[in-house]
A = this chain, B = another copy of it.
Amino acid sequence: MRFLINDVFDFPAHLEKLGLADKTEGMIDAVIDESAKIGEEVLAPLNEIADAEGCTHVSPTEITTPKGFKEAYGIYRDGGWQGLSFPETYGGMGMPFSFSIFQADILAAANWTWLMFPGLSKGAINTLVAHGSEPLKDLLLTPLVSGEWTGTMCLTEPQCGSDLAQVSTKAEPVADETFLGMQKYKVSGTKIFISCGDHDLADNIIHCVLARLPGAPEGTRGISLFAVPKKLVGEDGSVGDLNHVNVGRIEDKMGCHGSPTCELQFEEAEGYLIGTAHKGLNHMFTFINTSRVGTAVQGMAAAELAFQNSLWYAKERLSMRSLSGVKNPDGVADPIITHPAVRRLLLTQKAVSEGGRAMVYECALLADKMQAAEAEGDVQAAKRMDDRMGFLTPILKGFLTEMGLEAANAGIQVYGGHGYIKSNKQEQVMRDVRIAPVWEGTTQIQGLDLLGRKVMLQKFRPINEHCMELYKSTLGILLKGEGGKLRSHAWTLLKHVAEWQMLTLKVALRARKNKDAIGVAAEDYLMMGGYVSLAHHWLHMEQAAVRALKAADKSEEDDFYTAKIQTSAFVFDQLLPRTRTLAQTIIAPLDSLMDIKADHFSFDHSK
């Protein structure tokens, strides 16, 4: 983390530039040190127990969380950590967004399901900050930012997940009834898959609910967003009676047992409009984008956790002799870390974890700039940053969750049969992260968002700008030629960027004849962008390591930097070549996917 923060991205200079140097003095170290303490001492020890114990549906308004979750949340809340990057107006610390990412990086690897409770709440806070009316913000934000309450996102219904046009939950205005000047609504409908939809960590829960107003247009243009508290809130902010939000069931799922996935039944529950009527989906995207970055963190954290748990084992487990000669003559066999196949598994985990971290931190850096631009009222600059993040988010989310799953899968493989046993803690990582490529929009949906919405609908501008950035920085490294393989890696990357950009054009030409060309290409197009981005960040890490090695005062950390350079070589030699396949499949014939009729996928001859 510190290598990225200091050597690669130079966050101190970045904060200086944003005029935040004084305010944030010493804070990064404090965030890292304190988060590490909470992660190591409080959260990590609860991760395995939470998986075994799960959550309990005591009653429709009482869900209990696993042992220790409540106490851990108390420590986090009392430390004021929920407010780390939220405005001081509402009791937050007002630190840059990136700081909360540094914290999430640590806590996510320690205990992902626990982090979901405050994590989802942050999405609700962001949504209210961005779109809530003043009385609503005044009412809800302070207890949310303090962590006294939490928030949720209620989108999915039994008949629809990705396709929110089908949302059928209703919100009816209550005639002549207002609260703090806000119109009261009665919200009715069933929402499913509501993560942390109920629990015992906080006094109250604010649900952000998508619903339709009477006479609303069909489809996504008729959806509005409502704040519906679990318990009614008094004018003074006091928590009152229950508000007809019942948990029908909590799901029995593959993993993530520590966080309850709730079916919520809203039965004329009182709620207040967030933002503008019928603009609910737009508003919700504030929440969704926060969650998508959060889910990218989930993927990266799974890679980190699986890597940490694999590495010590690979050094200790003795099996077979190295093909290139005995490495551990005093032992009965060589440690498995000497075998190339095991090294590849470990290096994949390391590359995804450390490279994924760089990808996420880049996004955090942009978010800081956007935050600063907004604070200064520089709408254009904020929009520029927002666009850039909008382009990067689907790649981050889609690529890092898929790679996190691969890294977790590798973790089982390193352990062999022992990886399949629960007590060795590797299979839980895989079960927990398996949902990451699904929720907050599947990888397939991320692909369509990237290639369809971000690239095609905006006539290539985002991809061209992105590639221009990549050309510039990579060309810089190529021209400087600071040693080692930097120059050849830069050259390889340049060719890949050009190829990716060119493929965009090819897909666009194919799409003019048949729009399915976008659907056929989207997922692989995203993954190719992911590999290019991963390699790009490793190239920069490699450069930073080469420089650090040259600086005399860093000599004692030579090994650390050398390992970075070696891992970069691994990325270029073993991971980036995966684009060789993608470059073909992105423009593979459409008919081999589209021709077969739905009824011809299978035939039941027994009938």
- A residues in contact (CB < 8 Å) with B: 2, 36, 156, 159-163, 165-166, 193, 251-255, 307-308, 311, 314-315, 318-320, 322-325, 332-333, 335, 337-344, 346-347, 350, 405, 409, 412-413, 416-423, 427, 430-431, 434-435, 437-439, 442-444, 447-448, 452, 514-516, 518-520, 522-523, 559-560, 562-563, 566-567, 569-570, 572-574, 577-581, 583-585, 588-603, 605-606
Jot down 24 A-B pairs with beta carbons below 8 A, ordered by A. Answer: A36-B606, A156-B417, A159-B318, A162-B319, A166-B319, A253-B420, A253-B427, A322-B516, A323-B516, A323-B518, A324-B516, A339-B519, A341-B447, A344-B593, A405-B409, A413-B437, A413-B438, A420-B434, A563-B600, A573-B588, A574-B588, A577-B584, A578-B581, A580-B581
Name the B residues within 8 Å of A419 (CB-CB): 438
In the complex, what distance in Å separates the CA atom of A87 from the CA atom of B343?
Answer: 46
Q: Which residue of B lies closest to A345 (CB)?
A: B444
Given A421-B253, A567-B596, decide whether A559 and B443 contact each other with a Cβ distance below 8 A: no
Name the B residues within 8 Å of A320 (CB-CB): 162-163
Question: What is the count of identical protomers in the complex?
Answer: 2
In the complex, what distance in Å separates the CA atom of A579 from the CA atom of B577?
Answer: 11
Are the C-beta atoms of B577 and A592 separated by less than 8 Å?
no
Q: Which residue of B lies closest to A589 (CB)?
A: B573
The 4 closest A-B pairs by CB, nearest first: A340-B519, A341-B444, A580-B580, A254-B427
Name the B residues within 8 Å of A606 (CB-CB): 36
Partner of A593, one of B347, B443, B515: B347
In the complex, what distance in Å separates the CA atom of A566 from the CA atom of B165?
Answer: 33
Are the C-beta atoms of B319 and A515 separated by less than 8 Å?
no
Given contacts A254-B421, A346-B601, A413-B437, 7 further A-B contacts (CB under 8 A): A160-B319, A252-B422, A405-B409, A570-B592, A573-B588, A574-B592, A574-B593
Name the B residues within 8 Å of A325 (CB-CB): 515
Are the C-beta atoms of A417 and B439 separated by less than 8 Å?
yes
In the complex, what distance in Å separates the CA atom of A338 from the CA atom of B589?
Answer: 16
CB of A77 to closest CB in B, whole Å: 25
In the complex, what distance in Å separates the CA atom of A606 from the CA atom of B567?
Answer: 22
Are the C-beta atoms of B522 and A341 separated by less than 8 Å?
yes
